Structure 1
Amino acid sequence: MRYQSAVDFAAVEAIDMHVHYETDTCGHHSMPQEYLDASAAYFKGVERIPSIEAIAESYRELNMAAVIFTIDARTQLGHLPNSIDDLVAAAQEHNDVLIPFGSVDPRMGEDAIVEAIRQVEELGVWGMKFHPSLQGFDPSEPQYLPLWRKLAELGVPALFHTGQNGIGAGMAGGGGIKLRYSNPLLLDDVAAEVPDLTIIMAHPSVPWQDEANSIAIHKPNVYIDLSGWRPKYFPESLVRFASNMLADKLLFATDYPLLAPERWLADFAELPIKDEVRPKILKGNALKALGLK
């Protein structure tokens, strides 16, 4: 199955750049159950794993497109991810609203590069998702440069988790997850070394928001997605720069199902952001990040 988009990008009102689909048709999850349970508790008991049909219908009703993905953290967690092939097939069934990103485990070395090529060239994924803390790696280390260069060559963006982490929250030792790997400054190294790679820093990067702002302002190839936080809780510096220096760098994103688009949009409407910037954040900037504009 190869994904071919049928999204009418001129007609949709927004593109949600951060939506999780973390199970497959065999019922296999992306991570051990205790991690899913801890994140559900952190986000106050949301339905952690909705069906692909429910995800697609939610965005169809909202007249939005959504980027869906999972995370391959097999080395760190000792747990195989849910099937990327299954995710792509599901996105193809709902290709009027869903856009698949792939994922590989960078710690697999050359095998990760081979799999990334397969996912892009054979499956047709539009980007790759990474979670340095969950996957247990420092993205600035030289050993990962061949992977980042290959993604740049393939012409797909790389979406990296940044900031604090709901996964593992409350577990002993945070489930072994190290937050320092999600410091956005590590991605500044990647952005400088591989300027042709589009990098999306996921989430307001608490406690490193000023660092994330600076990187996105300084590096033309870096964006910030606004997922995982209700906009009313966004750091003040992020809101302050949204109407000027970050106007072309911010992306609408929710972290669905952990945060519903309706709640995010209601908060967003109350932020002191220039009216002419709002369409950029909701759709225009995403079109550029996805290479569509």
Structure 2
Amino acid sequence: MARPDDDVRVKDLWRGLGLPGIVDVHTHFMPERVLAKVWAYFDGVGPLTGRPWPIAYREDEEERVAALRSFGVRAFTSMLYPHKPAMAAWLNAWAADFAARTPDCLRTATFFPEPGAAGYVRQAVESGARVFKCHVQVGGFDPNDPLLDDVWGLLAEAGVPVVTHCGSGPVPGRHTGPEPVRRLLARHPRLRLVVAHMGMPEYGDFLGLAARHPGVHLDTTMAFTDFAEADAPFPAGMRGRLADLGDRVLFGSDFPNIPYSYLEAVEAVARLGLGDAWVRGVLHDNGARLFGLDR
């Protein structure tokens, strides 16, 4: 878990690579009562995963923002997601306010298959949303639901990245896995889709989709860490494919909901042995390019 010198060790790592900091595309900030329910889910997830999932950074909002800044994270997100209708627009309003008072947060929005979804997604895009979160597993919906046709078309046209939890980890959902995403990309090939968690555990399938679709990226959230490797190890034979897609692999941490330190998330990427240039791209440059950040 977290140690007092983790911030120093994280900074030493990215400074040693000549970087100005870290771009973390997968961090969670949301209304406190919603976050409390998320934490309660992880507190009780043991029976589903077969082991406990302690929250490493169970602190108030101000302390969590300060922690990311102490690690040298220069841009992060407020990943939030609805699990039922009539939630998304409210979450988007909260996220807009959070980004307004937290300038290093990339303004984040979300959606759910419901009447009116295209309207509030359009409003979010036009008012400055820079990234969306789609959680197929928690939402329990097919990304190809007809209620989302206009949403995907709008986001593809606008070129706004959508971080999408579509892999079947930590437990499969009715609509998780590569096939729904394959069908989605066939209809919207220009989507900037960021596959969360490297598509864990269907790594190969999602690497294949990224190889065929230049708008598809993958984030490293939880992948390669000792915690994830115990249940869903990334095949060593696929590391060459990771190197080939180096400009479309983005760093994500899942902060604050991780059962280990932020340092572990960063070191897990650095120790893959794919070279300093690849690590520089993942920790900073690829995300900076995707979101148009100045170095």
- Give deviations 1:99-130, integer Å, cap 9, x for gaps: 1210111x203x111111122223x2211111
- Over the matched positions of the two proteins, sequence identity in percent amounts to 20
Shift of residue 218 of structure 1?
1.0
How far apart in 2 are the matches of 1:287 and 1:209?
24
- Kindly indicate whether the alpha-carbon contact (under 8 Å) linking 2:140 and 2:174 is maintained by their aligned counterparts in 1: no
1:79–1:197 distance in 2 versus 1, CA, 3 Å:
closer
- State the one-letter code of the partner of 1:146: D
Verify: 1:275 aligned to 2:281, yes or no: no
How far apart in 1 are the matches of 2:149 and 2:288?
26
Select which of 214, 219, 225 maps to 1:225.
219
- Give deviations 1:254-287, integer Å, cap 9, x for gaps: 1111234211112222212122211111112112
Verify: 1:118 aligned to 2:123, yes or no: yes
Verify: 1:93 aligned to 2:104, yes or no: no
Paired residue for 2:242? 242
- State the one-letter code of the partner of 1:263: E
How far apart in 2 are the matches of 1:231 and 1:258?
14
- State the one-letter code of the partner of 1:200: V
How far apart in 2 are the matches of 1:158 and 1:284?
18
Paired residue for 1:254? 253
- Kindly indicate whether the alpha-carbon contact (under 8 Å) linking 2:27 and 2:76 is maintained by their aligned counterparts in 1: yes
- Kindly indicate whether the alpha-carbon contact (under 8 Å) linking 1:133 and 1:182 is maintained by their aligned counterparts in 2: yes
Verify: 1:149 aligned to 2:153, yes or no: yes
Q: What TM-score do you get using the length of structure 2 for normalisation?
A: 0.78
Select which of 53, 58, 67 maps to 1:58.
67
Paired residue for 2:15? none
How far apart in 2 are the matches of 1:19 and 1:40?
22
Verify: 1:67 aligned to 2:77, yes or no: yes
1:263–1:207 distance in 2 versus 1, CA, 3 Å:
closer
- Kindly indicate whether the alpha-carbon contact (under 8 Å) linking 1:46 and 1:257 is maintained by their aligned counterparts in 2: yes
Which structure shows the higher helix fraction? Answer: 2
How far apart in 2 are the matches of 1:290 and 1:183?
27
Paired residue for 2:162? 158
1:222–1:132 distance in 2 versus 1, CA, 3 Å:
same
| Aligned-partner SS, 2:288 | helix
Q: Structure 2: state its 5+ residue gaps.
A: 1-17
- Kindly indicate whether the alpha-carbon contact (under 8 Å) linking 1:56 and 1:98 is maintained by their aligned counterparts in 2: no
- Give deviations 1:220-263, integer Å, cap 9, x for gaps: 010001103343525124433222x2211211101111234211
Verify: 1:44 aligned to 2:53, yes or no: yes
Paired residue for 2:23? 15
Q: Comparing 219-228 with 138-147, which one deviates more in the overlay?
A: 138-147
How far apart in 2 are the matches of 1:104 and 1:211?
25
CA RMSD of aligned residues (A): 2.9
How far apart in 2 are the matches of 1:142 and 1:28?
27
1:273–1:231 distance in 2 versus 1, CA, 3 Å:
farther
Shift of residue 165 of structure 1?
3.8
- Kindly indicate whether the alpha-carbon contact (under 8 Å) linking 1:228 and 1:258 is maintained by their aligned counterparts in 2: no
- Kindly indicate whether the alpha-carbon contact (under 8 Å) linking 1:23 and 1:82 is maintained by their aligned counterparts in 2: no
- Give deviations 1:2-60, integer Å, cap 9, x for gaps: xxxxxxxx974211110112324xx3548577535334886622157543312221121
- Kindly indicate whether the alpha-carbon contact (under 8 Å) linking 1:132 and 1:139 is maintained by their aligned counterparts in 2: yes
Q: What TM-score do you get using the length of structure 1 for normalisation?
A: 0.79
Select which of 35, 53, 59 maps to 2:41.
35
| Aligned-partner SS, 1:102 | strand
